A and B are shown apart, each in its own frame.
Chain A
Amino acid sequence: MDEPLRRTPLYASHVALGARMVPFGGWEMPVQYSGIMEEHRAVRARAGLFDVSHMGEVDLAGPGAGPLVQRLVTNDLSRRAAGQALYTPMCTPDGGIIDDLLVYRLGDERLMLVLNAANTAEDLAWIRGHAHGDVQISDRSAETALLALQGPRAQAILERLTPAPVGTIRYYWFREGVEVAGRRALVSRTGYTGEDGFEIYLDGRHAVHVWDAILEAGKPAGILPAGLGARDTLRLEAGLLLHGNDMDKSTTPLEVGLGWTVKLDKGDFVGAQALERQKREGLPRRLVGFVLRERAIARHGFPIREDGATIGVVTSGSFGPTVGNSIGLGFVPPEHAEPGRRIAVEVRGRAVGGTVARLPFYKRDAEAG
């Protein structure tokens, strides 16, 4: 990691807003502006705007695009029409998760992949290594900005900036060529917060203009710029996993509760045999949610214990500002995975008691979405 940190087109905007900048996935990103708790609450109650331009965007074009992706991911792209997005892991032959990504079906022979920043280079090499002839692969990460407008007031704010009927975009659908503050963007009804919201992909040269326009239009609604800190507490409360923390190449989708993204009946794909075998033979461990009785935070790597014996390990933990408790995710043996089961997390040499919890920790009201 000796390479210099990269900056999104919004770097100067973040600094001007008083953001605290930190290294993340090879990028210099805002971790917070006014404070993680305040930003978290703004997203739950009103709206927040995130710069997630560090994410990787890769365009695939040609008759080979669909078959290539079908072969590389565990979920079934054939069940998605043009205008729909698909969440899916991409696995090694052993079933280990190389990355989790979104696949946007732009057309019959046009796809866009959205990759985690820290994995983009490795993903690209993996994808290129499996490509044969009839597909063009273009890394668009450097010139593409991505803004996430999230929260119950996201739609009302976006509607002030676009003539397009963005309210009709359904969850995990998108529209291309939407004018947002006069600039063309791809707008999708997706996010990583557990709230309603949109992700807006656009040319990086327009990022500052659109960022400013959204913050301005959202001012009466109480929008706040929100950083990676709030993004992490929001996604954790929503039970969403973070690659590199909760899953990686040593874990399979089945172990981390992503079995619903593994479509063994779709035809052969990389990792299918290993996942089929694991499904048949049983899981060695399962990722579960837990709630602690104290406010001490269970950090990544802390041991999970029961009756004094170590039975697992914490993968993510934080104070959940909305749920009001110390919450986390971690691996335990399958026989310890049922909700209500008592566990303890070892925090600086001390066992802090808690229970296995049903995920997600937080679910928004249906009518708000």
Chain B
Amino acid sequence: MYPKELRYSTEHEWVRLEGGRARVGITKFAADRLSDVVYVELPKVGSEVAFMQPFGVVESVKAVSDLYAPLSGKVVEINQALVEKPEVINTDPYGAAWMIIVEPRDLKELAQLLDAGAYMALVGERPS
């Protein structure tokens, strides 16, 4: 449910470091809570995102939520397929439903994110 190799924000985003880049999405917990995601709004490639500042929006039938950047940096890629098929957030939050890839400005920010254990404690789930 919460892969060990990821880092997590208290706003329910995950980060996966891939070489010098960081892939970002939202967690299974957030996806379940939203349920029935119908719309995703992502930033433009080349734009800047800032640590724990909104970078986009995800909408379910019932509610709209901001997406918060777990790292500062430049957006180098966005998941256009997700914009066209946002419902995969509910089925594959750590895979096909990645949202943006960021060129991080300051990797020290990672230290402020949670590991899987701490994140599970935050959302009240026991490690499986």
Known contacts A31-B62, A229-B62, A299-B64; A36/B39 CB under 8 A: no
**Could you say which of B41, B87, B90 has the most chain A C-beta atoms within 10 Å of its C-beta?**
B41
Cβ-closest chain B residue relative to A20: B35
Cβ-closest chain B residue relative to A32: B35
Within residues 286 to 304 of chain A, which ones have a CB less than 8 A from any CB in chain B? 294-297, 299
Cβ-closest chain B residue relative to A319: B38
Provide the A297-313 mask, 1 if CB < 8 A to any CB of B, else 0.
Answer: 10100000000000000
Contacts of A79 in B (CB 8 A): none
Cβ-closest chain A residue relative to B38: A319
Within residues 20 to 65 of chain B, which ones have a CB less than 8 A from any CB in chain A? 35-36, 38-39, 41, 57, 59-62, 64
Within residues 73 to 128 of chain B, which ones have a CB less than 8 A from any CB in chain A? 86-87, 90
Known contacts A229-B62, A233-B61; A297/B39 CB under 8 A: yes
Within residues 18 to 40 of chain A, which ones have a CB less than 8 A from any CB in chain B? 31-32, 35-37
Asked if A280 is an interface residue, CB under 8 A from chain B, the answer is no
A342 to B57 Cα, complex, angstroms: 25
Contacts of B64 in A (CB 8 A): 297, 299
A295 to B57 Cα, complex, angstroms: 12
Contacts of B60 in A (CB 8 A): 36
Contacts of B36 in A (CB 8 A): 32, 35-37, 229
Contacts of A319 in B (CB 8 A): 38-39, 61
B62 adjacent to A295 (CB under 8 Å) = no
B59 adjacent to A296 (CB under 8 Å) = yes
Identify 13 residue pairs between A and B in the complex whose beta-carbon atoms are under 8 Å apart, listed by A's number: A35-B36, A37-B36, A37-B61, A233-B61, A295-B39, A296-B39, A297-B39, A297-B59, A297-B61, A297-B64, A299-B64, A318-B61, A326-B38
- Among A35, A233, A296, A297, the residue within 8 A (CB) of B35 is A35
**A residues at B contact (CB < 8 Å):** 31-32, 35-37, 229, 233, 294-297, 299, 318-319, 321, 326, 348
Contacts of B59 in A (CB 8 A): 295-297
A321 to B62 Cα, complex, angstroms: 13
A321 to B37 Cα, complex, angstroms: 11
Contacts of B39 in A (CB 8 A): 294-297, 319, 326
A35 to B60 Cα, complex, angstroms: 11
Known: A36-B35, A229-B62, A297-B64. 19 other contacts (CB 8 A): A32-B36, A35-B36, A36-B36, A36-B61, A36-B62, A37-B87, A229-B36, A229-B61, A295-B39, A295-B86, A296-B39, A297-B38, A297-B39, A297-B59, A299-B64, A319-B38, A319-B61, A326-B38, A326-B39
Cβ-closest chain A residue relative to B87: A37
A318 to B38 Cα, complex, angstroms: 9
- Among A233, A321, A348, the residue within 8 A (CB) of B57 is A348
**Could you say which of B59, B86, B87 has the most chain A C-beta atoms within 10 Å of its C-beta?**
B59
Smallest Cβ distance from A60 to chain B, in angstroms?
A: 36
A319 to B63 Cα, complex, angstroms: 11
A233 to B62 Cα, complex, angstroms: 10
A294 to B57 Cα, complex, angstroms: 14
A319 to B38 Cα, complex, angstroms: 7
Cβ-closest chain A residue relative to B41: A296
Contacts of A233 in B (CB 8 A): 61
Contacts of B86 in A (CB 8 A): 295
Contacts of A296 in B (CB 8 A): 39, 41, 59
A31 to B57 Cα, complex, angstroms: 22
Smallest Cβ distance from A31 to chain B, in angstroms?
A: 7
- Among A32, A295, A299, A348, the residue within 8 A (CB) of B38 is A295
A35 to B90 Cα, complex, angstroms: 10
